[in-house]
Structure 1
Amino acid sequence: MPRILIVGGGYAGFYTAWKLEKKLRSGDAEVTLVDRRPYMTYQPFLPEVVAGSIEARHAAVSHRRHLRRTRLVAGMVTAIDHAHRVVTVRHNDGHRFELSYDVIVVTAGAVTRKFAVPGIAEQAIGLKNVEEAVAIRDQLFTAFDLAAGLAPGPRRRKLLTVTFVGGGFTGVEGFGELLSLATALLKRYPEINREELQFHLVEATGRILPEVTDGPGRWVVRSLERRGAHVHLNTQVTSTVDGHVVLSTGEEFDSELIVWATGNGVNPVIGRHTDLPVDHRGLVVVRPDLRIGTEENPMPDAWAAGDDAAVPDLASPVPGALAVPNAQHAYRQGKLLARNISLDLKGKRPKKYLHRSLGAVATLGLGRGIFQYRRLVITGFPAWLMHRGYHVLAVPSWERKLRVLSVWLTAALFGRDIISLAAVQRPRDAFVTGGEPSIPTEDKSPTP
């Protein structure tokens, strides 16, 4: 049997494996998927995980639950040698080994783009994985708990200041949802005034949400500012050392929570540790049918899709345009990948990827959203309902759809769950200390 190796179990990788199981009969091929995580992250739900509107596990889709005929390897591909049809894998327990294959599918996904800004590596957190979304939510809860017991002063101001860097969909949606959560928390914390909350959104360009046109983008800025947020356009973060944020405009402030959401960066494995062709940005060169290579020089038995692939956008009027690296494209590319691999194994001609955008929809917090399709723009509560409706239909499997719907219904009746589980990141502390009081190392400010 031909051995198909899928590198990465995110959107494109998961859908490729899932659909291959439906298209291939037992014995047609042996499919192996390599990924560090045992699940696919449904990233459009991460802002709602941040806001506590969705249970964290419901934003993840288990590989083992759905990929029943796929061999799953818990590890990370660190090098690809297509000339010899072999990859190097670092298992989650640390040991390395090689896997051979006949057909490779590169869907490793991108990583969070970082810049050489002092303090970012030590102070900031990304928003690309479920674990990061949960940590952001718990950090906000912890900050409220600490601030409520402090007298007004620098430490309290820092705890109640949140900074998001990046005005794309991830940054704006996460910012809007966390602002909505923080505002809702105020009625549970009478010690904290609304004026003490400081939310900063920093964007290096002159607009946010590049997927929508200028008018709707400006409306989002005005909407956030009416809710008390500070939106800094044409501004860069130059330092975050010790949580002290310095902006290129000269403004400075202390911020306890700094979220780095500046878009996708090149996957280092794909960009530097493979003999597959990559472009000047480190993306895999892909033909319209998702086969790696060019029309003149296709690579045999090699396919790619998702955020780390330069997939031509045939629906764009701009020559040479590439498909936007988002969930809408990745999931459709994964489905087509499975179809094309199946056709190729049968000696048939694969299909080209062509998808016309269904529009852009974003959540800006509970009951707030924006939707645009060409000249049609819908804002406020209707757009928020459209956002929820679209994504509950798009998340894989009826099991996940029903779980998400049940949480939304419960929240509508009883409100959001505001329990912080920050201590779960240090589960042995209570056992190790045995109840002995410990002296905090970060904050020794006196309580009022």
Structure 2
Amino acid sequence: MREILIVGGGYAGFYTAWGLEKRLRKGEARVTVVDPRPYMTYQPFLPEVTAGSIEARHAAVSLRRHLHSTRLMAGSVIEISNADRTVTVRSANGAEQQLRYDILVVTAGAVTRTFPVPGLAQHAIGLKHVEEAVAIRDRLMTAFDQAASLPPGPERRKLLTVTFVGGGFSGVEGFGELLSLATAMLKSYPELSMDDLSFHLVEARGRILPEVTDEPGSWVVRSLERRGAHVHLNTQLLSVEDGHVVLSNGQEFDSALVVWTAGNAANPVVHNHTDLPVDQRGLLVVRPDLRVGTDSEPVKDVWAAGDDAAVPDLAVPGAYTVPNAQHAVRQGKRLAKNIVADLRGGKTRNYRHSSLGVVATLGLGRGIFQYKRIVIKGLPAWLMHRGYHVLAVPTWERKVRVLAVWLTAAVYGRDLVSLASVQHPRDAFVTSGDPERSGKSRQDDRAAA
């Protein structure tokens, strides 16, 4: 059998493998997916995970549960050598091995883009994975518990100050959902008031949500500010050392929770550790049919899709598809069809997709939707957001689970329980109630991580 190796089990990788399972004949080829995580993260649900509107596990689609005939390997690809038809995989324990392939599919995705901001690596957290979304939620809830036992002052103010850096969809949705959660939590904390909360959204450009036009973007800013948020446009984060935020507009404040959502960067494996052709941004050069290379110089038996590929946007001449879920899902489906067609000597088809519009949640009951000149705001847009994503999340099993949680929350409200202690699971066992030993246990946990 021919070996089909898929690097990355995210949107594009999962849907490619899923499509191949449905289309390949028995014995025609063996498919292997390499990814360090045993699940695909449905990233549009992460903002709602931070707000407790969705259970964390429901935003993760198990690869083993849904890819029945695909071989799954837990590990990270650290090098791709197409000249030798091999990839080097590093497992969690550091062991390395080489895998050979006949057909390669690179869907490694992108990584969070960071800058050398003092204190950023020590104090900020991203919003790209389920673990990060859960940690953000638990940190906010723990901060509420701690602040409620403190008198008004700088320490309480710092605990209840939240800073998001990045005004794209991920940042704005996460910011709006967390603001909604914090506002709802005040009902359970009579010691605290809205004046104690301080939410800051920092964006280097002059507007947020670049995927929508100017007026809807301005409406989102006004909507957030009416809810008590501070939106800093044309502003950069200069420093966050010791949790002290310094902005380029001259403002400074202490913030216990800093979330970094300032865009994506090219995957370093694709950018630096492959002999495949990449462009100036570090993305794989891809033809419209998702084969790596150009029309004049195609790379035989190598395909790519998703955030690590520069896929031409046939709807906008000279442009490339934007790195979002809509494109990754549909590229994965097209990729599976093209690989099977190529295996059987058939004709491949170009990837072409017309936008379905953009929709974003801004917190419970609030949203924004735009399709061309049609703009819908508020509750109707929020319902459209939920309706679209419950249909878009793969597998009926996940759709039912998510819908069940939403219906339960509609009746009983949010589940306001923090499980921050799971980040230090050995504390109760090791300390036996001794606070000093508890601190030592956390240091040991961090060292082990």
Q: Same fold (TM over 0.5)?
A: yes
- What is residue 320 of structure 2 aligned with on the other side? 322
In structure 2, give the amino acid aligned to 1:371.
F
1:269 to partner: Cα distance: 0.5
1:284 to partner: Cα distance: 0.3
- Mapping for residues 163-242 of structure 1, pairs under 5 Å: 163-242=163-242
Matched, 1:337 2:316: no
Q: Give me the TM-score of the superposition, normalised by structure 2.
A: 0.97
Q: C-alpha distance in 2, partners of 1:241/1:439?
A: 27
- What are structure 2's unaligned runs of at least 5 residues? 441-449
Matched, 1:293 2:293: yes
- Partner secondary structure for residue 99 of structure 1: strand
- What are structure 1's unaligned runs of at least 5 residues? 443-448
Give yes or no for contact 2:19–2:336 (8 Å, CA) kept in 1. yes
1:154 to partner: Cα distance: 1.2
- Partner secondary structure for residue 209 of structure 1: coil
- Mapping for residues 74-153 of structure 1, pairs under 5 Å: 74-153=74-153
- What is residue 69 of structure 1 aligned with on the other side? 69
1:332 to partner: Cα distance: 0.2
- What is residue 434 of structure 1 aligned with on the other side? 432
- What is residue 446 of structure 1 aligned with on the other side? none
- Partner secondary structure for residue 79 of structure 1: strand
Change (3 A) 1:184 1:274: same
Q: C-alpha distance in 2, partners of 1:94/1:393?
A: 39
- Mapping for residues 337-356 of structure 1, pairs under 5 Å: 337-356=335-354
1:434 to partner: Cα distance: 1.8
1:262 to partner: Cα distance: 0.5
Q: C-alpha distance in 2, partners of 1:439/1:375?
A: 60
1:437 to partner: Cα distance: 3.5
Q: C-alpha distance in 2, partners of 1:93/1:130?
A: 22
Q: C-alpha distance in 2, partners of 1:404/1:348?
A: 39
1:440 to partner: Cα distance: 8.1
Give yes or no for contact 2:32–2:70 (8 Å, CA) kept in 1. yes
Over residues 140-161 of structure 1, what are the superposed CA-to-partner deviations in whole Å (9 max), with x where a residue is unaligned? 0010000000111111110000
1:281 to partner: Cα distance: 0.7
- Partner secondary structure for residue 84 of structure 1: coil
Over residues 197-227 of structure 1, what are the superposed CA-to-partner deviations in whole Å (9 max), with x where a residue is unaligned? 0000000000000000000000000000000
Q: C-alpha distance in 1, partners of 2:285/2:92?
A: 29
In structure 1, give the amino acid aligned to 2:378.
G
- Partner secondary structure for residue 141 of structure 1: helix
Q: C-alpha distance in 2, partners of 1:276/1:411?
A: 48
- What is residue 388 of structure 2 aligned with on the other side? 390
In structure 2, give the amino acid aligned to 1:324.
V
CA-based RMSD of the aligned residues comes to: 1.0
1:420 to partner: Cα distance: 0.5
Matched, 1:38 2:7: no
- What is residue 254 of structure 1 aligned with on the other side? 254
Give yes or no for contact 2:164–2:259 (8 Å, CA) kept in 1. yes
Q: C-alpha distance in 2, partners of 1:286/1:320?
A: 13
Runs of 4+ in 1 over 6 A off after TM superposition: 439-442
- What is residue 364 of structure 2 aligned with on the other side? 366
What percent identity do the matched residue pairs reach?
A: 74
Q: Give me the TM-score of the superposition, normalised by structure 1.
A: 0.97
Q: C-alpha distance in 2, partners of 1:25/1:259?
A: 46
- Partner secondary structure for residue 307 of structure 1: helix
Moved more, 147-156 or 323-332: 147-156
Q: C-alpha distance in 2, partners of 1:381/1:134?
A: 25
- Partner secondary structure for residue 164 of structure 1: strand
- Partner secondary structure for residue 349 of structure 1: coil
Give yes or no for contact 2:431–2:437 (8 Å, CA) kept in 1. no
Q: C-alpha distance in 1, partners of 2:391/2:205?
A: 33
- Partner secondary structure for residue 306 of structure 2: coil
Matched, 1:55 2:55: yes
Q: C-alpha distance in 2, partners of 1:305/1:291?
A: 9
- Partner secondary structure for residue 139 of structure 2: helix
Over residues 315-346 of structure 1, what are the superposed CA-to-partner deviations in whole Å (9 max), with x where a residue is unaligned? 11xx3200000000000000000000000000
- Mapping for residues 274-285 of structure 1, pairs under 5 Å: 274-285=274-285
- What is residue 157 of structure 2 aligned with on the other side? 157
1:438 to partner: Cα distance: 3.3
Over residues 7-42 of structure 1, what are the superposed CA-to-partner deviations in whole Å (9 max), with x where a residue is unaligned? 000000000000100000120101000000000000
- Partner secondary structure for residue 438 of structure 1: helix
Over residues 69-98 of structure 1, what are the superposed CA-to-partner deviations in whole Å (9 max), with x where a residue is unaligned? 000000000000001100000012221110
Q: C-alpha distance in 2, partners of 1:179/1:339?
A: 42
In structure 2, give the amino acid aligned to 1:226.
R
Over residues 25-76 of structure 1, what are the superposed CA-to-partner deviations in whole Å (9 max), with x where a residue is unaligned? 1201010000000000000000000000000000000000000100000000
Q: C-alpha distance in 2, partners of 1:71/1:437?
A: 46
Aligned pair count reads 440
